[in-house]
Structure 1
Amino acid sequence: MGWFSEIWRTRAQDWSFGSVGPAGTELVPDEQYVSVNLREFHIADVRLGRQRLYGTVTSSCSVVRRAGGRAESIVVTTPGVLRDVDPDNLDRVVTGTTRLLGPVPYRGGGIDLELGLFTVPSRDLLGPYLNLLEQAASLAGVGLVAKDAGIVGLVKEGLNTILAGRSGPELEIGLAHTFDQPVTGTYAVIRTERSPSREMPAYQPGHGLRWSDGNTVAEPYIVFSIDADQRREDWPDIPNLADAYDQLRIVAERGDLVGATELLAAFRRMAVFSSGLLARDGERLYDLIRSEIARAFPTTATGTRTGRPGLPPLAELDPFDATKS
């Protein structure tokens, strides 16, 4: 762990962390798509005179890549309700899902997560700077990127420049943790010291955290979830696949069977070995497109190919429906 480890060493405490929802299930390698989602957070009792603040959530999630090594997803987000807010009105609960990771194929191994909620004075153009970092992180987060990718380093450097300062930015609550054997479920980190005699509170979406005695958790906290699914709904947005399919459609529309056949073979390799799809789903997607190619270039009894070439938009295909492959 460590892209803001220095901040952790100087500001973090032994905060409470654990599950706050029903028991989940252990992730299965090469069978599921995993995502990490920010569900809710609460900040309170922040006072920096009359200085207006930016509330900023930052996260770094890394998982094992199919090609080996680890890939990383970085998120920098400033919710609208916390942009340039008056400190006197900062005590609030913010709900709504923010995607921190995925969905991406789970290849096995642990999930490294660093998650922090900061309040940053808006002086010296820090607000616009955070907006720029948010945009840069979103570019890096289109898909998982190698940990040593250039844009990742630039975003980290920019965050450290702001957050490592000693004259204003405050870590309200945060977590640095490795899920060695990831289990789905809802988790929370709370700015209160761990106590062996006190259980973690329960979480109700939209209603926050409550202790066993019914009292609402007043301390700052972050609630997030680890989720798994058999589908990846945004699969048509996987850049390499979308680009390759566009080329295949262009060749098919020209009536070039030889070119379409060659591109189809290349597409199969790309889909099966894609970093964004499980192998089984890449194979199903290939089978669907192969069927569409056959329909676009039908063969008559005399061996003459007839018909009007053309392939449907990629989003109309469904590699997650086994009955269609």
Structure 2
Amino acid sequence: MQMLSRRSLVQSFLAVGSVTLAGVRSASAQRFDWLARLLVGASGAPPVDLTFIPSVQGAESIVPEVAKPIEPDACYIELYLESIRLAKARRFATRFHGVAYSFVTLAREGDARAQLAAISKPDKLAELDRGAIDKVIVVSKQMMGPTAYRGGPVLLQFGLFSVKSGNLLSPVLDYVTRVSSAAGNSYVGAIKPFLPLIAEGMDLIAGQREDTALEVGVDTAIDLKTGSVSAIVDLPRGSFNIDKLTLDKDRKLLLDGKPIDAGYAVFSFRPSAEKSDYGEIPELRDRYAAIQSALRGGKLKDAQDALAAFRLAAIASPDLIPADASKLVEKTTQKVRTAFPPGGVGDVSGPRPKAETLSEIQLYE
């Protein structure tokens, strides 16, 4: 994944959004400033206590991935946007975009709490017209990739917006979406430098009250024991029986068996036993490359030293659960042993190992 420099991103953002980033605040401060706009300012209306359902009844039969338990240091978690219904976009006479925003904060081993932000404008939410307002749009879009779960509550900010297209906000939205994509959605270290840009961009978009409508939003802490399917509904809390909410086979929200007549968003936290992008963890990728270089050069001592450094980095990595760290070390150790069998380098016949990246080690065979 090609990463843009911080300077080029800032310069581009200034050019597109005409926003000053002087005195950028900490990510934590941005989060709380953002909350005010998310739940009040973006809608331009008095605060409404929307209904948040932490766990939709029977949803595990529709999204089976959420049925598995979530235990600290034993799995990764992912965040998916499942389906939406836009209602407030009816005030726009022109076309509009559907935009999903998420900001997740969770414990991180040996470091400050991890913060992962994502702005998504899936194809199904792009350039919609008034004819799409009453439709339920099934997205199943990953907002946060597999991230090691270390225990404790998961803090979530989530917002679903309708943004008028064809004006100044469209290029700003396109740019912020590209920034989010460049940062990635699961490697904590990669996204950290981009958090101020994402927060400032969405702050600008939310502040344009004539051109932006907040459909639904929530700021909450979720204590995960198993995966869950949650929903935010644009109806006042207590105005309906949440036990009557279910999902149909297409992941659309039903109330007492009938489509619900309100804007909403359905999202899920899913446990995962695998982190498919483990090969992108920089400190592991670089140390593995050093092992490969030693193997190709037939340098036993260099390979042993590089393996020791890789082992320590894997065990200490906050991005891997212990089981995966051990498995990765075991597979890498076996590769070195195969390259240098008993008897020394002189007993090795045939060509030296080909160049291989960490991603090719096949951790999950």
Name the TM-score, length of structure 2 as normaliser: 0.79
Alpha carbons 1:297, 1:309 under 8 Å: kept: no
SS at 1:30's partner residue? coil
CA distance in 1, matches of 2:145, 2:238: 33
Deviations along 1:200-247, one digit per CA (max 9) or x if unpaired, are: 4101341511122x2111211111111112222332333432332223
Whole-Å Cα distance in 2 between the matches of residues 15 and 128 of structure 1?
30
SS at match of 2:204: helix
Contact 1:63 1:109 in 2 (8 A): yes
Match of 1:209 in 2: 253
Residues 313 and 223 of structure 1: is their aligned pair in 2 closer, same or farther, counting only changes over 3 Å? same
Q: 1:81 is aligned with what amino acid?
A: K
Alignment-mate amino acid for residue 306 of structure 1: V
State the partner residue of 2:358.
314
Deviation at 1:266, TM superposition (A): 0.7
The answer to whether residue 119 in structure 2 is matched with residue 76 in structure 1 is yes
Task: Give 1:188-227 correspondences, 5 Å limit.
Answer: 188-195=231-238, 198-200=241-243, 201-212=245-256, 214-227=257-270
In the alignment, which residue of structure 2 is the partner of 1:256?
Answer: 299
Post-superposition Cα deviations, 1:89-144, rounded to whole Å, max 9, x if no partner, equal 33322213222223011011111111111111124332121111011112333544
Q: Is the 8 A contact 2:122 2:141 kept in 1?
A: no
SS in 2 for 1:112: strand
Where does residue 90 of structure 1 map in the other structure?
133
In the TM superposition, residue 315 of structure 1 has moved relative to its aligned partner by 3.8
Verify the 8 A CA contact 1:299 1:306 in the aligned structure 2: no
Map 1:58-69 onto structure 2 (within 5 A): 58-69=101-112
Please name the residue that 1:154 is paired with: 197
Q: Is the 8 A contact 2:76 2:275 kept in 1?
A: yes
Tell me the secondary structure at the aligned position of residue 46 of structure 1: helix
Superposition deviation, residue 25 in structure 1 = 6.0
SS at match of 1:113: strand
Query: Structure 1: how far apart are the matches of 2:92 and 2:352?
Result: 68
CA distance in 2, matches of 1:296, 1:278: 28
Q: How many aligned positions are there?
A: 319
SS in 2 for 1:4: helix
More off after superposition, 198-207 vs 34-43: 198-207
Partners of 1:282 and 1:319 within 8 A in 2:
no
Cα 1:234–1:215 shift into 2, 3 Å: same
1:106 to 131, 149, 153: 149
2:331 partner letter: L
Q: 1:13 aligns with which of 45, 48, 55?
A: 48
2:208 — aligned with what?
165
Of stretches 155-164 and 123-132 in structure 1, the one that deviates more from structure 2 is: 123-132
Deviation at 1:24, TM superposition (A): 4.8
Mapped to 2, the partners of 1:187 and 1:264 lie a distance apart of 44
Q: Give, in whole Å, the separation in 1 of the partners of 2:205 and 2:357.
A: 44
Maintained 8 Å contact 2:179/2:194? yes
Is 2:146–2:186's contact at 8 Å kept on the other side of the alignment? no
Aligned pair partner of 1:4 in 19, 34, 50: 34
Task: Note if contact 1:76-1:133 (Cα within 8 Å) is conserved in structure 2.
Answer: yes
Rounded Cα–Cα distance in structure 2 between residues aligned with 1:142 and 1:216:
32
Q: What secondary structure, in the 3-state scheme, does the structure 2 residue paired with 1:47 have?
A: helix
Runs of 5+ consecutive residues of structure 2 not aligned to the other structure: 1-30, 61-65
Q: Is contact 1:43-1:221 (8 Å) kept?
A: yes
Distance 1:177 1:287 in 2: 40
SS in 1 for 2:326: helix
Higher mean alpha-carbon deviation, 167-176 vs 82-91, is at 82-91
Q: CA deviation at 1:195?
A: 2.0
Name the amino acid aligned to 2:208.
G
Partner of 2:71: 28
The equivalent residue for 2:309 is 266
CA contact (8 A) 2:93 2:130 kept: yes
Distance 1:153 1:39 in 2: 27
The one-letter amino acid paired with 1:91 is D
Distance 1:3 1:36, change over 3 A: farther
* Contact 1:111–1:182 (Cα < 8 Å) also in 2: no
Shift of 1:36: 1.4
Cα distance between partner residues in 2 of 1:128 and 1:313: 36
Secondary structure in 2 matching 1:192 = strand
**Bigger share in strand:** 1
